[in-house]
Structure 1
């Protein structure tokens, strides 16, 4: 190509443009050379679970710690207000409180549009909106035999029309559960509205709709994408999402960037200066306030306590009882902790610590007088006051019945044999019903002369070891030989649900402010789930079913009391105590409060990352 000479004017124009471009480049270079403002440090909430999780699928879990994680990932239609006393429900994903028929059998729920699941590859790169059908699907999953839902009893007790029949059909025909078949009791009426119809009145059914581990929305395409691996792939509409999980070791969640806009708007009870100050400080802040939650599994109390003191944890949930005298002498925060700016939050738990007897076991079970006498004797021989003093650090009160404080139906004036320690009476009962030391070796035999040996399942942590030492000591005093079988907690839970353990000690916590939660431990329809004792007494079953349909009032209270008395008399459980928890919070953890019916408290707290990092250094 022949070169064309440039005119002076053209050359001058090019030169000016080149200088302009060079000047712009210098400006950009100068700008990039300026110091860049550092990113705000991430706010990370760090604490420990004292028992390992089992997984994160609402249809497959029942343990407390898995349900805590689930409640921060998935969302139920309703939620409990964080600061309300007494407990009070409010809409969560709903536009308003449900419409409830006068007879408490029909519940109509309408969602707010514009709510989305966290991003996941199961959605094929599309943003996935929450719809009414997701709640229909989530509730149906508990009826699918494939998932063996341990919480199915809560829905079957409520008798949602048509779903139990659909489940039976799948079992009888050995076919997959038909999610596409519409049933009368559970229908999506349009994109954002669904209706639940029950076969009988359920005045407290709304509580089931405030438990994300039971009624949290689940997307069908996620379950179908992950199949049997769904326990490790929870995808919900809640404020957090799972980003890392090392089973029984470490759980990490991060803020769900696509969560809808929710502001801190809490109403503390009048006269509570601490909660009033928290609400005033945080009111109007967008939730969640922390970016990340890191949970370690620390089963032993000493490393959990020492890690908290070292600043590695921001929260010590359930102060280990052996450190109560150090941390909270006379139930007041120790001066050396107060000087560091730590906070103490002390609250009664709506729970019961109990040991169950497998009622189907030929040695420990049954309802014949001699079988009841053996369980009564063991219950009387156990020294619960000593357990509270030596094992629980004084952080509990003796139980008189299964129904716990903070729930409807609890009677603080009720006194029963369940709370007694009386070795003399225990020995007399054993003698009377033929449990005697026949061969003179110091241990009693069964009435038929066979050896009497009780096997108690336990865990390898320090508190469990102390508990079985107490059991062994107290039973030796009345001539009952015990041996102990140790396994990890999730393994014991699996065996317990299958009816394979003779005895095991667990805690049972209420998710709602109602005593039905504890009577459910004895109902025949709950065998293998709540009813680990596999108790089946027709008189109790009738009372339980009756109280369930009654509104709160004197008639229901009377039926609950009769059912409670039968559990005390037949002793399918030794109810030990009701715990009092003390949590400790570091000075950089802002807004910490515990409502025992709110598991998703992470979104309500804040972290001062500067103070946190200084403490770690």
Structure 2
């Protein structure tokens, strides 16, 4: 599965925008350039939509390349709308065939590969771009979304080649694309809104063999200007951009104001975006507070006290016009346990009791208050709010109850104790839980909370700290016993979360290696259904099985604390897309006035 979703303990990318000191315009002076300055929390990789899967790079790619569809900026819950497609596709009654009309007049940004010709996007370009995901030479982490799903794609899997015909992937004419599936897939259109499906030109890919990520040529609202790897990248407004703002605002007055300000206007609204790589939490926060950046998404847990007091923005910051908003990220924190591990794994009653006791010991109120600083809600199931299939009335049958946890362990044979008071196994062997954790400040704080919770029910725990990337590698190999992770939605549907516990996904997204036939059967039934009462019933039953066997301890859903300066206009956090750069505007006069008064 893509690295993005394994960025479990990586914080959701902190993208900040920031100005250089501006002067108010003089009469007759040329128009001031509008610049957004921001940072990414980790370095980017190659800018190839078929290959990249880390948050930082995806944030850039969605501004450089165009998929057929995008998410409506203002619609909640999240909803798709046409992008380079002229309209939403025509779907056949059997749900297998999707016909797209490509919008004429969409052009790639200039590149020598086009030999001076202004190159228009065609349906054949999307055929080429989707086929690239199957190319074994590039090992796309996004291939799983399409492999075995497009009718006839086994031809590509047998012998890859761009000229190999695929029955389910055809350009009927210059502007008409038809995709036919092997079986209905209710989430298929969501796949066509991911950065991975952004259109590329064959001439460019072939002009730079193996180096496409170093030569990003797309059709998005921005194009690459200056690029110093792992340090700084400048995006320039694409002069060929034909994107025009359209959205569906709800009743929120702020949404309606954004819609009124942008209605019918060409995108993007700024002239350039200057992005720096800033990996340190403190530098990001201080940069924002010093007015170097226009906004900051997801205040680091360890720095909440710098800006928040009693759950509110500090008065001195509010006086500067800074705005704090809480945003329910499509993200679930959970602690998974390896079902194949000899200590915590297995489906016998004693092992189920051990995992249930671990779940009962978790003090989520303390986690939210002390570690998340109030910026989270309790996770009752794998699904966060605003995901299709989420049931706001569902409550976990496994509460925080250390007394019940102790009684459960006593009942199932964990009664003998070491001289230091920790429990032994039912066959009287030493019992030590091993939980992996990140070697960070927040990782150590989480370790201490888990130590406190587990020690309270007589369980000894040892922590093994490592880099996140190394923990993920070990998790794929099945050598991690327990780990606190998180998942951010690829698309806003419950299937994207419940597949994390589907047996055939063991060793990929399913790190717990949970493989229960009753769960697998319900998951397979549910994924064939659209959102509705029938699927909701299956989700309820799947939740009950998760709580019965406890391969997971659902922890929290993050409420991101987002900060923005008053001169930033049209800002609204989107639940799925990484950035909102194309919609943002900067009032350079207000920025200059605010900085003088600072």
- Residues 106 and 195 in structure 1, CA contact (< 8 A), matched pair in contact too: yes
Judging changes above 3 Å, is the alpha-carbon distance between structure 1 residues 36 and 209 closer, same or farther for their aligned structure 2 residues? Answer: same
| Contact 1:252–1:292 (CA under 8 A) maintained in structure 2 | no
Determine the structure 2 residue equivalent to 1:292: 272
Q: Which one of 33, 42, 67 corresponds to residue 58 of structure 2?
A: 67
Greater CA drift, 600-609 or 366-375: 366-375
- Bigger radius of gyration, 1 or 2? 1
Distance 2:336 2:45 in 1: 21
The alignment of Structure 1 onto Structure 2 pairs a total of residues equal to: 571
Q: How far apart are the structure 1 equivalents of 2:213 and 2:513?
A: 27
Selected match of 1:42 from 30, 33, 54: 33
CA deviation digits over 1:41-87, x for unaligned, max 9? 43222334445555543333444443322222222111121112343
Query: CA distance change for structure 1 residues 566 and 137 in 2, over 3 Å: closer, same or farther?
Result: farther
The answer for the alignment partner of 2:566 in structure 1 is: 587
> Which residue number in structure 2 is paired with residue 180 of structure 1?
163
Checking the alignment, whether the CA contact within 8 Å between 2:151 and 2:167 is kept in structure 1 is yes
Write the distance in 1 (CA, Å) between the matches of 2:98 and 2:340.
38
Instruction: Look up the SS of the partner of 2:98 in the other structure.
Output: strand
Q: Structure 1 residues 162, 297: closer, same or farther in 2, change over 3 A?
A: same
Deviations 1:259-300 (A, max 9, x none): 322233444213x22222233233343211123333444444
Structure 1 distance, partners of 2:463, 2:208, is: 38
Q: Which stretch of structure 1 is more off in the superposition, 198-207 or 406-415?
A: 198-207
Aligned equivalent of 1:568: 547
Q: The residue matched to 1:96 in structure 2 has which SS?
A: coil
Q: 1:313 aligns with which of 293, 300, 303?
A: 293
The answer as to whether partners of 2:389 and 2:494 remain within 8 angstroms in 1 is yes
Deviation (angstroms), 1:474: 2.0
More helix by share: 1
Partners of 2:388 and 2:97 in 1: how far apart? 23
1:143 to 2:134 alignment = yes
Q: Which residue of 1 aligns with 2:221?
A: 239
Q: Equivalent residue for 2:149? A: 159
Counterpart in 2 of 1:255?
236
Contact 1:300-1:461 within 8 A present in 2 as well: no
Q: Distance in 2 between matches of 1:335 and 1:185?
A: 59
CA deviation after TM superposition for structure 1 residue 434, in Å: 4.5
Q: CA deviation at 1:99?
A: 0.6
Match of 1:558 in 2: 537
Which whole-Å deviations, capped at 9, do the CAs of 1:567-610 have from their partners, x for residues lacking one?
33222322211111221111221111112133341000012345
- Is there any run of 5+ residues in structure 2 with no aligned partner, and where? 1-25
Native 8 Å contact 1:46 1:315 kept in 2: no
Give secondary structure in 2 for the equivalent of 1:546.
helix
The answer (yes or no) to whether the contact 2:345–2:351 under 8 Å persists in 1 is: yes
1:206 to 189, 192, 215: 189
Alpha carbons of 1:256 and 1:182: their partners in 2 closer, same or farther (altered >3 Å)? farther
Corresponding position of 1:95: 86
Change (3 A) 1:61 1:379: farther
Q: Which moved more, 1:529-538 or 1:388-397?
A: 529-538
Change (3 A) 1:542 1:114: same
The verdict on how the C-alpha distance between 1:192 and 1:575 changes in structure 2, with shifts beyond 3 A counting, is same
Q: Do the aligned residues in 2 keep the contact of 1:238 with 1:256 (CA within 8 Å)?
A: no
Q: Which residues of structure 1 form unaligned runs of 5+? A: 1-34, 171-176
The more displaced of 291-300 and 348-357 is 291-300
Is 1:478 the counterpart of 2:457? The answer is yes
The answer as to 2:97 corresponding to 1:106 is: yes
**1:217 alignment partner in structure 2:** 199
Q: State the Cα deviation string for residues 352-381 of structure 1 (Å, max 9, x = none).
A: 112222334443433333333333222222
Contact 1:150 1:529 in 2 (8 A): no
Alpha-carbon displacement from aligned partner over 1:512-555 (angstroms, at most 9, x marks no partner): 33211211211234344433333322222221121112233221
Question: 2:192 is paired with a residue of what secondary structure?
Answer: helix
Report SS of the residue matched to 2:581.
helix
Deviation at 1:491, TM superposition (A): 4.4
Shift of 1:138: 2.8
* Whole-angstrom distance in 2 between the partners of 1:197 and 1:460: 47
- Structure-2 change in CA distance of 1:469 and 1:227 (3 Å): farther
Decide whether the 8 Å contact of 2:51 with 2:196 is kept in 1. Answer: no
CA shift at 1:343, angstroms? 2.4
* Contact residue 336 and residue 553 of structure 2 kept, 8 A: yes
Contact 2:43 2:231 in 1 (8 A): no
CA distance in 1, matches of 2:126, 2:262: 31
Shift of 1:104: 1.3
Q: Report whether the alignment pairs 1:520 with 2:499.
A: yes
